[in-house]
Amino acid sequence: MADIVSKNKRSEMMAGILAKNTKPEVKIRKALFQLGYRYKIHDNCLPGKPDLVFPKYHAVIFIHGCFWHAHDCHLFKWPSTRKEFWHIKITGNKDRDSKHLKTLISSKWRVMTIWECALKGKHQLIFEKIIQETDQWLKSLDPIGEIGAGK
């Protein structure tokens, strides 16, 4: 299927996608702050520059976009154009995610991933439940947590 926008417009749209301080990230940060959590953002001293770092809990949270990290949900579909480029780009992201997760876990950091599909789309979860589950995970000793809407 041909793209419905010009190459220049598509390029402009892709350039506008933020790597940090995204709407989902800011929304989660504000809700956790209201619950009394204090955190660092985008700490480049840790592998993968986690979106949120909770030193008190020795925990980090990544808020991942389903497309960029190839989440197995309704929001991810492989692009039909420039297949090789996108395959290299997206599988590279997944490989880095896996490497960062292993490094963080081996360094005794606890890691949670919150997926974009939990916050938007036809299967999105209730936001208050996402925050409640995140709150419970932060207070637990579980090494890994994940919140996503799935398929």
Instruction: Assess if residue 105 is contained within a domain.
Output: yes
Would you state the pLDDT for residue 6?
73
Separation of alpha carbons 38 and 53, rounded Å:
9
If you average pLDDT over residues 98-106, what whole number do you get?
98
Instruction: Assess if residue 142 is contained within a domain.
Output: yes
Instruction: Assess if residue 60 is contained within a domain.
Output: yes
SS3 125: coil
If you average pLDDT over residues 62-81, what whole number do you get?
93
Instruction: Assess if residue 1 is contained within a domain.
Output: no
* Domain limits for position 25: 20-147
Instruction: Assess if residue 11 is contained within a domain.
Output: no
- The domain total for the chain is 1
Would you state the pLDDT for residue 5?
58
Instruction: Assess if residue 48 is contained within a domain.
Output: yes
Q: What is the pLDDT of residues 17-67, one digit of tens each?
A: 556 678 999 999 999 999 999 999 999 999 999 999 999 999 999 999 999
Instruction: Assess if residue 53 is contained within a domain.
Output: yes
Stated pTM of the model: 0.86
Instruction: Assess if residue 14 is contained within a domain.
Output: no
CATH number of the domain enclosing 136:
3.40.960.10
Q: What is the pLDDT of residues 104-120, one digit of tens each?
A: 999 999 999 999 999 99
Produce one character per residue of 64-97: b if its CB has 16 or more CB atoms within 10 Å, e if not. Answer: bbbbbbbbebebbeeeeeeeeeeeeebeebeeeb
Nearest residue to 114 (alpha-carbon basis) of 79, 76, 70, 66: 66
